Chain A
Amino acid sequence: AQSVTQLGSHVSVSEGALVLLRCNYSSSVPPYLFWYVQYPNQGLQLLLKYTSAATLVKGINGFEAEFKKSETSFHLTKPSAHMSDAAEYFCAVSDRRYSTLTFGKGTMLLVSP
């Protein structure tokens, strides 16, 4: 069975600081990994995805993530936080057959001025 662990239910940063949201996965096969963002009272929006083409994946809004097989990690980073980045972020791993997603519990990113 696949699983995802997100370390830290809440992460606080100052505007302009580095954002680092941690995600570790467990999968018996090479994984397809995703990061989604959810703004208040909205659905989920895809930030980026890893499908084995390149280990460093660039997404929208300046976010990127690096797949590290040896560490079973897929951490999300952004060099400089903006107030508009405040949201909840979900890491997910996809089942290869049906494309069902197994999500982590989410990390709420708080950005202070």
Chain B
Amino acid sequence: DVKVTQSSRYLVKRTGEKVFLECVQDMDHENMFWYRQDPGLGLRLIYFSYDVKMKEKGDIPEGYSVSREKKERFSLILESASTNQTSMYLCASSSLGQGMNTEAFFGQGTRLTVV
């Protein structure tokens, strides 16, 4: 069974802390993505990566960075957490297929609360 695993389901962090959200996929996918989900706004793309050490900004990259040192692992970093980053974060992966046959597989999500 294909799997995208996010390291935490729930996290509570303090304002100003550096926060790491980890994601691992076991499908040998080239593409990995971080989305943020907020009520009434749907999912918005933060960053994505199409290869090891490669990263591209999505629609809302401000306040975030990412790291992809290994193909299977994609980390989202909040350099200095703020309360407006309280949200559900979803990681996804897909194979390199130019969109046509690339179904994205999602992790269970990490609900982050910044206090």
Contact = CB atoms under 8 A, between A and B. Distances in A.
Chain A complexes with chain B: yes
22 contacts: A32-B99, A32-B100, A41-B108, A42-B108, A42-B109, A43-B90, A43-B109, A44-B92, A44-B104, A46-B103, A46-B104, A49-B103, A51-B99, A51-B101, A90-B42, A98-B48, A98-B50, A99-B99, A100-B45, A101-B45, A103-B35, A106-B42
| B: contact size bracket | 20 to 34
Contacts of B107: 43
B11 interface: no
B94 interface: yes
Given A49-B103, A105-B41, A105-B42, A99 B109 contact: no
Please give me the 4 A-B residue pairs with the lowest Cβ-Cβ distance, nearest first. Answer: A43-B106, A105-B42, A44-B106, A99-B102
Contacts of A52: 100
Interface in B82-115: 90, 92, 94, 96-104, 106-109
A94 B41 contact: no
| A: contact size bracket | 20 to 34
A12 interface: no
B58 interface: yes
Interface in A45-104: 45-46, 49, 51-52, 90, 92, 94-104
A98 B52 CA distance: 14
Interface of A: 9, 32, 34, 36, 41-46, 49, 51-52, 90, 92, 94-106
A98 B42 contact: no
B79 interface: no
Contacts of B100: 32, 51-52, 96
Given A34-B103, A42-B109, A101-B35, 10 more contacts: A9-B40, A36-B106, A43-B106, A44-B90, A44-B92, A98-B48, A99-B97, A101-B43, A102-B45, A105-B40
A77 B96 CA distance: 30
B74 interface: no
